[in-house]
Amino acid sequence: MPTPTDEEKLAAEWEAETAGNDADDVDQDAMAAEWAAMAGGDDGDDGEDDPVGQSAASSRVLNQDEIDSLLGFDNGGDAGGDNAGIMALVNSAMVSYERLPMLEVVFDRLVRMMSTSLRNFTSDNVEVSLDQITSIRFGDYLNSIPLPAMLSVFKAEEWDNFGLLVVDSALIYSIVDVLLGGRRGTAAMRIEGRPYTTIERNLVERMVHVVLSDLSAAFDPLSPVNFRYERLETNPRFATIVRPGNAAVLAKLRIDMEDRGGRLELLIPYATLEPVRELLLQMFMGEKFGRDSIWENHLASELWMTDVHLSAVLDQVSLPLRDVLNWKVGTQLPLNTRPDGLVDLRCGDVPMFRGRMGRLQGNIAVRIDRDFPKPQEAPR
């Protein structure tokens, strides 16, 4: 019987390997088909009812405009536009100043009063306008302040908290130029790269006092408050009044003095406004939030007609529990009081009056002599 040659053996091995590879390809194709079926079944009934729509949706690719819209970058670079998309979710924790509508009224009063006060302060034609009222985190605002600038820290004494007044470089040089007799029609000289002099700081401090006085007067109809000047800083790090993550209200004011002027920014943290938050929530001055004075008067009149049970206490005696357990019928309890002694009248556990016992038309009565002395409050 002829024996196979080496070439025939090698050909038989190649055929066996090829058959094995074909079987592996068939298994891989079957597995891929199974995965595709599982992916199509994840959508539930929608994939079964509309396989054509499902395949089209799976192959849908977003273009650049749709991606920008999703991320909230389709405002055309307008910083004043409303955030949308993911940016709206990121900033959703920020409290909006629109929840305090009365704050706009206060800032409008401030603008009108500052126009008059700064005209008297500078003896020049001054126009003050309110550019924008926004909400911002304190740390973000400190990082966005254009330097050089002067940051004035003030304190609301009645509210026991602080605020920030920022004067930019253009307004500083304009105020200095006006107060020192600079000519009209010429721009204020700016020498950058040097610290502010003592004269410049003192002049700006005087202007800050005028602005804070007007701010106190603007809040007076709502809640009397005194904004007291604390210090003047040129480094934002030294003007930190709240934590960087805290929200604050930022009002940007524009001050124009003919061909000169600049910006003045007023930042008040929400923590500072918390004592008057209920007043700032009003839609108009004097709003009562559903308060009914007629019902209050009726309730007060009915309370005066309420029956109250009073107890007359002759005396109080403290005894050991051992003696109380030994009491029997006929045991006498001596009271340390006299027939003409004072009797306490109590409503529950609250002492109300003191009087003397007697008889009236055959009934035991108490004649009230005076009110019960109120306990003195502990010193704060």
Contact 162, 155 (CB under 8 A): yes
- Give the per-residue pLDDT at 94: 54
pLDDT in tens, 276-300: 888 888 776 655 555 567 888 888 8
pLDDT band at 380 (very low <50, low <70, confident <90, very high): very low
Dist CA 177 CA 259 (whole Å): 12
Tell me the pTM: 0.54
Domains assigned to the chain: 97-280 (3.40.1550.10), 301-324+337-371 (2.30.330)
Give pLDDT tens digits for 197-225.
Answer: 888 889 999 999 999 999 999 998 888 89
Q: pLDDT, tens digit, for every residue of 142-167?
A: 888 888 889 999 999 988 899 999 99
- pLDDT single digits (tens) 105-148: 899 999 999 999 998 988 888 889 988 888 888 888 888 888 88
